[in-house]
Amino acid sequence: MNTVKANIKNPKVWVLVIGVTVAVGMVAAAETRRRKAKFKEDFGAFVQRFQILPFPQPPPPAAKQTLAGLTFAINDIFELEDYVTGFGNPDWARTHEAAEKTAVTVTALLKNGAVCVGKTVMGELGFGVSGENIHYGTPINPEMPAHVPGGSSSGSAVAVAAGLVDFALGTDTIGCIRIPAAFCGLLSYRPSHGAVSTIGILPNSQSLDTVGWLARDPSILLRVGHTLLKLNTVEPRRARRLIFADDLFQLSKVPKQKAEVVINKAIENLSGYQPQQHINFGQHISLNVPSLKGFLDQSTNMQNGISNLKALSSAMVSLQRHEFKTNHEDWVKSVEPKLALDVSDNLLTAINTTHENIKALYDIRKELRACMQILLKDDGILVIPTVADPPSKLNSKKRDTVESHNRALILSSIASMSGCCQVTIPLGKNDGCPISVSFITFHGGDKFLLDTVLDMYSSLKEQINFLSNPAPLKDANENFDASELLKEKGNAAYKGKQWNKAVNYYSEAIKLNGKNATYYSNRAAAYLQLGCFQKAEEDCNMAISLDKKNVKAYLRRGTARESLLFYKDAAQDFKHALVLEPQNKVARHAEKRLRKLMS
């Protein structure tokens, strides 16, 4: 600038400055056009495109390679000989040499006939569940282009969902394969911890890291599993118990009733399936994982085991941060990499945190695996929602995504901390968003789980239409005297702590008179006692729509939302109750407690 000022009267200098400015502008515009073309071509899924051909087909009478004719991609955490592994961050790539060997898993796929066609975008250093990457661009979710694809294996999920490859590899530490599968409407598989080699893969947290894969077709999911898990071809076991975790479905937007209908209809004509069972999973782990007590948040108002589930996810994050620090602290401090804000926060917390009781984290892993073995034995399958919320919009504000992030980690922590295997199964869409459930079974039960998916998947597909059929509305009856009598019976049952009976009485009252806000509000109170928080929220919504000044409905909806970890919405409900009743102590204490939690 000093040179420009000194020569301000020299026209030659101005020609030079204008020329440089135009050139820079043209380069920037060209780069923008190039990136738009790239995203249009491959949805922004890849950081590198290439082709590595499979090993030669062995001559007869050797069997044909099991993956012959299939293409796959790997995210940028797998080492390939003569390629630099980027770990989702340019500073990592800049400070590391090309790999000398190829990851064991990639070699296994090439030996079995698959063609590797490129490396995909991933979350920086394996952190984050949104799939956004400020350096390489965020891959476009083919199912919902204005929303995030999920991460950290975002590029791998997008490549499969867009039909660019038959399957893709990624790593799953705290949900990095399962979450993008759910957001992009895919099948995915997280194997039992330690069942698939991680040699040649950059570690994030080795006690949680696994190699996972995504596919659109269950037969391909199984074929990849046979290759990587080295499974034998023994006839699959037919006895199977499906156990629905009711409390986990309360956290999720997945319509549990419809999910149950689809699964039950799918298996009713299949042999070897026992009647479904139900469990409050949070209560189960509270009885069988004593080491979790040190991670419980005493300031929350959560009930029925939800606090134990939140403690489990907190322990998982602590373990990830501790091991990431052990693995990469020296590099972080010496390089000071440029990172996205959320990744930087995560990484700095990991580097700066000193964990005093590391042993407790490993005790939780051991106890949870034993706890799952008690529940599942050798024939049980736990059914849970894969994620709690639909994918957030691109570039959403952090405050709007924190609660969704926390609920996602609760659901991911079960398999991550126990080391059990988990498969994600798409169940169509709800309100335009992909939805899915996950099956989890015992550690080492990989063949059992993969065979189960293949066994029931075609029947599941036939039943998906149930998800889009709304339940028929029943006619209301204006018999007010009868409905008031039923309400009073409900109140009496509630006072006697007969919560289910109270729900039934209030439900009958609503059938007769669906325009009374009190009936919905009272039923919500009974649902809260049963731990049915989502149903309680729905009843309160109806009560408030009928009576905007129903203080009890706001208080009960606030309690339900707090229990579901929607802290911001819960705080708004308690504030609204205070506007209507400024002296309401319950609302004041709750609003203060939530303000402290959110800060």
Structure tokens that stand for 11 in this block: 């026209």
Residue 399's identity, in one-letter code, is R
Structure tokens that stand for 326 in this block: 């052990």
The CATH number of the structural domain formed by 477-598 is 1.25.40.10
Q: Angle at the Cα of 135 (from 133 to 140), degrees rounded to 5?
A: 45
pLDDT tens by residue, the chain, 599 residues: 343 333 333 433 333 333 333 343 443 344 445 445 555 679 999 999 999 999 998 888 777 899 999 999 999 999 999 999 999 999 999 999 999 999 999 999 999 999 999 999 999 999 989 999 999 999 999 999 999 999 999 999 999 999 999 999 999 999 999 999 999 999 999 999 999 999 999 999 999 999 999 999 999 999 999 999 988 766 556 589 999 999 999 888 777 887 888 898 899 888 889 989 999 999 999 999 999 988 887 655 544 578 899 999 999 999 999 999 999 999 999 999 999 988 999 899 999 888 778 999 999 999 999 999 999 999 999 999 999 999 999 987 665 578 888 899 999 999 999 999 999 999 998 888 999 999 999 999 999 999 999 999 989 988 886 555 544 444 434 456 788 889 989 999 899 889 889 999 999 999 999 999 999 999 999 999 888 888 999 999 999 999 999 999 999 999 999 988 899 999 999 999 999 999 999 999 998 999 888 87
Q: Which fold has domain 43-392+402-468?
A: Amidase signature (AS) enzymes (3.90.1300)
User: Can you spell out the DSSP letters for 401-466?
Assistant: HHHHHHHHHHHHHHHHHH--EEEEEEEEEETTEEEEEEEEE-TT-HHHHHHHHHHHHHHHHHHGGG
Q: Give the strands of the sheet with 210-215, arranged side by side.
A: 46-52, 115-120, 71-75, 167-172, 210-215, 187-190, 421-430, 433-441, 380-385, 241-245, 277-279
Tally Cβ neighbours within 10 Å of residue 596.
9
Convert 568-580 into a string of H (helix), E (strand) and C (coil). Answer: HHHHHHHHHHHHH
Rg (the chain; Cα; Å): 27
Backbone φ and ψ for 366, nearest 5 degrees, come out as -65, -45
**Taking a C-beta distance cutoff of 8 angstroms, is the pair 561, 577 a contact?**
no
Q: What is the DSSP letter of 192?
A: P
